Structures are given as structure tokens and as C-alpha cells.
A and B are shown apart, each in its own frame.
Chain A
């Protein structure tokens, strides 16, 4: 008997009688999801700004990071000339990316997380390997909790997708918080309110 059959028959023989799966109503009246989102995201180490258009995003990113050569933009409607020096399929080349600008699909007020599907990244490694991450999110796409988030995304639409909540961090040395573990050292979120 294969391991598969062995496991499945042991599970079948040992499982308890079928217990019903309940359903729950998670709807909630939320007064100010934008405010909660901003405060929560700031609380977990992200920065948030509200902008009127993408031009403002470009201006701010260049102000902070200067050199355009090491910045990769994946927001289609943002006017940007990506450097041809970075090959997005090559790890060694990608490691040189200073900043990545990507578009988020849904923001979650209760925890500051933003859903980013693979299509918005180009390469799955991009939001992790870049030194600094910039996410552009429409201010109208913020929902109160994870329940509403899952109701409005399709996790199977792409082969990969991720909720990103703040910059990468660790507290593995004496529980002392350090921002910038293996992923991006900073996360700047621009809420687009056009």
C-alpha cells in the first residue's frame, strides 16, 4: 500500500463523526476605514501619504531615492522609463534594485495589509528583493477586515499573491525590533485620491 493510501485509510478510520461547518456573518459598520488603515500601517512601520495623482508619486520617490537607474516601476499608468540595466529574470541583477513601485489591489484597515497579485509584480521576487518598496493603492479600495478582503479578491487569479503589511522585520535577537530583515527595508504607501 502506498503512503497515500496508508494515510488516507488511517485518517478515514480514525476521524470522528462528521461535525457541521458553520457560517458566520462578519459584516460590520465601519466608520472610517481610511483613518484606521493609515494609523495601523504607521503603527507597523510603514509610511502613508495621500496623493492626487501619479505624478506626485513619481516626484516623491525621486525626491527620496534620487537615482532613477535603480528604480523599477510596475505601475502601468505611471510615466516612467525603467532602466534596461536590470534584468528582471536574473537574481543577481534584481538584487541591485533599490526601489520597486507596484500597485496594490485591496487595503485592509484592521491590519494595514495590502493585497498584491503576481501580475502587479512582474517577478514574484520583486517586492521582497528590492531595498525599498513603494505601493500605490486607490484610496477607495480599503476594506475594514480580512473577511471583506477575501470577498473582493481571487487568490487563484494568479499563481502567486501576497498580503504585505509594512516593511520586513525581525525581533529574533532578544525580542528587540529591527526593521529590514530579508525583505524590503521600508514600505511607502501612496493612497491615490483622484
Chain B
């Protein structure tokens, strides 16, 4: 189902759409407050953008340095060309160690690779431990937001889900009570776990270590208790030096939730004695995106989701409408690179208002890229028939003054004499959420008339 159809379904629940819209805007406002309290904010964005651009321009060398240092630290490094490779590598570690109990903290990369589904097909159960991810996992859904995975749900939904899966009281909806139930349930999982999978926020070439940021502490509970830790990262997670963490950790949480920093910023460099530590470095289309000059900037993304929270389309259509692991404006730029045909609708899920570009902590030109993707997709023949014919008709009308004037008159005539046509939500989708104008005359008629009166 394409974005606009899915959004239409989401919009049917007006109260929930309004709540979703307002809640995400509240997060955007928290971000503003946090950003404005840092005098260096714009300088930090400049620095972050420069560090990432530089890194991308020397990425192969930094990847090699990182691998080398990580190996010296006692970490096993694996390379995965695509999602399937990634899943196979993780699976082979699980199988060769004869592992049954696995916990995972939030990793959008493993979502992108559909790792949980892959493991399920092999009969392996992976327990998501981020609260939001556990909620959507129970419900057999996917995260609708990369920072707040269950933002599409209300407390009543979570209460019902926990009642079914964790035996909480029927009808209980208090977040404190529900979170406590999840804490107890997942503590047991952490203590029993044999293998922990985490994502990576930043991988440091200079030191061969990586940083994982969480508020809940679930990545640490997993990684420090299990005897095997697998950290999965995209090739774009590299930063050159330790000192650059200062720039990124100052930006990340402030942009994401308005917190000054996440509760835990964990720096992993060496496994514990008798612990195995693995890193899986994944390409999955990133090197292709690197070769697209108009879109390579998207690889600077640090997954803060500030562009989601500010986006008028995301806020009113919900993350699932984007049918991609990463939704929102950044997801709409990343997804067509993975599959143009399946994701051709996403760059159109934007008003091109540019708010995403304004809030992006690493200065990705998001709305420009959305606009550029539209051109690529139309040129490659992935535009929908209605868009193609619509554009062709507009070209004819706009390049021919006679037709233009006639169409204008016709439109105003229709509004005046048979307004029900324009006000039919079926014939005129534009009318769904808008009022039609009162048609007195065109600007041209008004202008000519005004000149004649002089």
C-alpha cells in the first residue's frame, strides 16, 4: 500500500491523528528549547556536518583503520555486503555457540535487515528489550518511529497488550505500572540471556571502539550480562576520532528528545575476560548511495529523528504509512536507494516545506533531496499514472495561454454553477481537508479591469 493510502487509513481516527500530531510537535518544541540553550549550537551543526562529510570522502580508509584497531582490541570484525549476509553472519555466531537465549537492544539496522523474521524462520527467538520495541514486538508490529518505536500507540493499547502477554491487570493503563511490569519481565530475560545484540551509534576509527546510547539501560544490561555481544553497524557510523564524540553527543539527544544527553553513553573497546565481542559492518546499499552525488549526504544521518518530529506529513500520517524501517523525511530519502519501485511514493510524502533541513543536526539537505528523488523517479518511470498524466496536462495548460484562460474560466464556472462536483471528495481529493475558494474572477481579469478603470 502506498503512503497516501496508508495515511488515509491512519487519518480515519481523527482524535488519534490529532494526538499523534501534537505529541510529536511537543517533542520538536523540547528539541528547540534544548538547542537554544546551547550557545555553540550552529557551530556544532557545522562541525558535525564537516566531520561526517570528511569521513564519507575517506570512508574506505577509516573503515580499514577501524577494523585494524578493533581487532587489536580483541573484537572480531565481520563484513556484510547486504541484509542477507548480515543475518547469516549473526545466525552463524548463534549456531556455532549453540545459543538459545538472545536479547536485543534497539538497532534500526537489524530492523532494516528484517533480522528478527529471519531468525524466527530458523526457529530462533530474539527478545527486543527496548520498552517501545518490546511493545511492538508483542503486537507483531514494527517500530513506527526510530527513537520512539511505539508512538503510534495509546496507553490503552499498551495496557491491553501487556495484559495479554505479561498478565498485568485488565484495563490497567498507568505508564509507571506498565513500565514496571516490563522491567520485571525483561530483567529475567537479561539474566538468562547468553547472547546480546546491540546497534552502534558511533564507531571510532582512531580507537577501534564504539558507542551505544540509551536511556533505559537495556543495551548495557544485555551486553554486560551475556557471554557474547554482537554489535551491528552500517558503514556510515564511523567517525575519525574520539574527540569528535564531543560534537555528536552534544547534538544527538538534544535533537532527538530535548534531553541534554542520553542517560547512558556506553563506550565499548574490549570484550570482558571470557566474553566474545563481534562487530558486523554492513553495507546494504550504502556504498551505492555514496556514489549518488545528490543523495550521498543522507549517509551523514545520526538517526535522531528530529526530521520526523517536525515533519507535518509524518506527524499526520504515522510511521507505518512509510512501509520502511526508517520512516519520515530521512527514510524517504534512504528507501528509494534500496528499492526504487517499492519506495517511489515516499519522496512525494512531503510538502517540501524544509523544516526537516532546518532542524537536522548534521545539516542534511533533506527537502532538496526529496525534490531531487522525485525527478529521478519520474525520469526512471516509477511515477504513478495519475502523476504522469497530471503533469502532462499541466504542461499543456501552463505553456498555452489560450488553454490556460479557458481552463480558468471553466473551473470558476464549475465552482459557481455545479459546486457539488468540486465538493465531491471522490472527484476532488483536494477538498477532503480543505474548503474550496469562492470564485469571483481570475487575477488576470482583476488586473486588466483595474488598469481599465484608471
Which residues of A approach B to under 8 Å, CB–CB?
2-4, 6-22, 24, 26, 28, 40, 43-44, 91-92, 95, 108, 110-113, 123-125, 128-129, 145-147, 149-151, 155-156, 158-176, 178, 180-184
**Mask of B198-227 contacts with A, CB within 8 angstroms, 1/0:** 000000100101000001111011011100
Could you show 17 A-B contacts with beta carbons less than 8 Å apart? Answer: A8-B60, A18-B54, A19-B50, A19-B57, A124-B223, A145-B250, A150-B243, A155-B269, A156-B207, A156-B242, A159-B268, A165-B263, A172-B148, A173-B153, A175-B151, A178-B179, A182-B218
Q: Are A163 and B261 in contact (CB under 8 A)?
A: yes
Q: Are A159 and B186 in contact (CB under 8 A)?
A: no
Q: Are A7 and B283 in contact (CB under 8 A)?
A: yes
Q: Identify A22's interface contact among B39, B47, B149, B178, CB under 8 A.
A: B47
Query: Is B452 part of the binding interface, using a Cβ–Cβ cutoff of 8 Å?
Result: no
Q: Are A171 and B267 in contact (CB under 8 A)?
A: no
Bound CA–CA A12/B269 (angstroms):
27
Give every chain A residue within 8 A of B271 (Cβ-Cβ). Answer: 159
Q: Are A173 and B296 in contact (CB under 8 A)?
A: no
**Mask of B230-247 contacts with A, CB within 8 angstroms, 1/0:** 000001000010110111
Bound CA–CA A128/B219 (angstroms):
10
Instruction: Write the chain B residue with the least CB distance to A113.
Output: B261
Bound CA–CA A40/B34 (angstroms):
12
Number of A-B contacts defined by CB within 8 Å? 249
Bound CA–CA A40/B250 (angstroms):
14
Instruction: Write the chain B residue with the least CB distance to A21.
Output: B54
Q: Are A159 and B269 in contact (CB under 8 A)?
A: yes
Q: State how many angstroms separate the Cβ of B136 from the closest Cβ of chain A.
A: 10
Q: Identify A182's interface contact among B26, B129, B175, B291, CB under 8 A.
A: B129
Q: Are B179 and A180 in contact (CB under 8 A)?
A: yes
Q: Identify A44's interface contact among B79, B183, B259, CB under 8 A.
A: B259
Contacts A173-B179, A174-B23, A183-B263 known; A3 to B79 CB distance under 8 Å? yes
Max count, chain B CB within 10 A of own CB: residue among A13, A162, A184: A162
Q: Are A21 and B51 in contact (CB under 8 A)?
A: yes
Bound CA–CA A112/B176 (angstroms):
24
Q: Are B221 and A18 in contact (CB under 8 A)?
A: no
Contacts A146-B249, A165-B260 known; A170 to B158 CB distance under 8 Å? no
Q: Are A16 and B267 in contact (CB under 8 A)?
A: no
Contacts A111-B260, A124-B224, A183-B221 known; A169 to B269 CB distance under 8 Å? no
Bound CA–CA A18/B131 (angstroms):
41
Bound CA–CA A168/B215 (angstroms):
6
Q: Identify A112's interface contact among B81, B187, B260, B264, CB under 8 A.
A: B260
Contacts A20-B54, A147-B246, A165-B262 known; A173 to B175 CB distance under 8 Å? yes
Q: Are B63 and A11 in contact (CB under 8 A)?
A: yes
Instruction: Write the chain B residue with the least CB distance to A163.
Output: B265
**Mask of B319-362 contacts with A, CB within 8 angstroms, 1/0:** 00000000000000000000000000000000000000000000
Contacts A146-B245, A164-B263 known; A182 to B81 CB distance under 8 Å? no
Bound CA–CA A92/B187 (angstroms):
10
Bound CA–CA A182/B186 (angstroms):
8
Given contacts A28-B39, A43-B260, 5 further A-B contacts (CB under 8 A): A11-B63, A24-B43, A147-B243, A147-B246, A178-B175
Query: Is B281 part of the binding interface, using a Cβ–Cβ cutoff of 8 Å?
Result: yes
Q: Identify A11's interface contact among B60, B215, B223, B260, CB under 8 A.
A: B60
Q: Identify B209's interface contact among A10, A92, A156, CB under 8 A.
A: A156
Ranked 6 nearest A-B pairs via Cβ: A183-B217, A159-B270, A14-B291, A111-B260, A181-B216, A172-B132
Q: State how many angstroms separate the Cβ of A131 from the closest Cβ of chain B.
A: 10
Bound CA–CA A149/B57 (angstroms):
28
Query: Is B21 part of the binding interface, using a Cβ–Cβ cutoff of 8 Å?
Result: no
Give every chain A residue within 8 A of B43 (Cβ-Cβ). Answer: 24
Bound CA–CA A16/B260 (angstroms):
34
Query: Is B53 part of the binding interface, using a Cβ–Cβ cutoff of 8 Å?
Result: yes
Give every chain B residue within 8 A of A4 (Cβ-Cβ). Answer: 79
**Mask of B265-307 contacts with A, CB within 8 angstroms, 1/0:** 1111111100000000101000110110100100000000000
Give every chain B residue within 8 A of A26 (Cβ-Cβ). Answer: 40, 246
Instruction: Write the chain B residue with the least CB distance to A117.
Output: B267
Q: Identify B59's interface contact among A11, A92, A162, CB under 8 A.
A: A11
Bound CA–CA A3/B263 (angstroms):
36
Give every chain B residue within 8 A of A180 (Cβ-Cβ). Answer: 179-180, 183
Query: Is B32 part of the binding interface, using a Cβ–Cβ cutoff of 8 Å?
Result: no
Instruction: Write the chain A residue with the least CB distance to B19.
Output: A174
Q: Are B57 and A17 in contact (CB under 8 A)?
A: yes
**Mask of B83-119 contacts with A, CB within 8 angstroms, 1/0:** 0010000000000000000000000000000000000
Give every chain B residue within 8 A of A159 (Cβ-Cβ). Answer: 73, 268-272
Bound CA–CA A16/B287 (angstroms):
11
Q: Are A161 and B220 in contact (CB under 8 A)?
A: no
Q: State how many angstroms separate the Cβ of A120 from the closest Cβ of chain B.
A: 13
Query: Is B191 part of the binding interface, using a Cβ–Cβ cutoff of 8 Å?
Result: yes
Q: Are B268 and A160 in contact (CB under 8 A)?
A: yes
Contacts A15-B57, A159-B270, A182-B216 known; A170 to B131 CB distance under 8 Å? yes
Q: Are A7 and B246 in contact (CB under 8 A)?
A: no
Max count, chain A CB within 10 A of own CB: residue among B51, B216, B243: B216
Give every chain B residue within 8 A of A44 (Cβ-Cβ). Answer: 259-260, 263
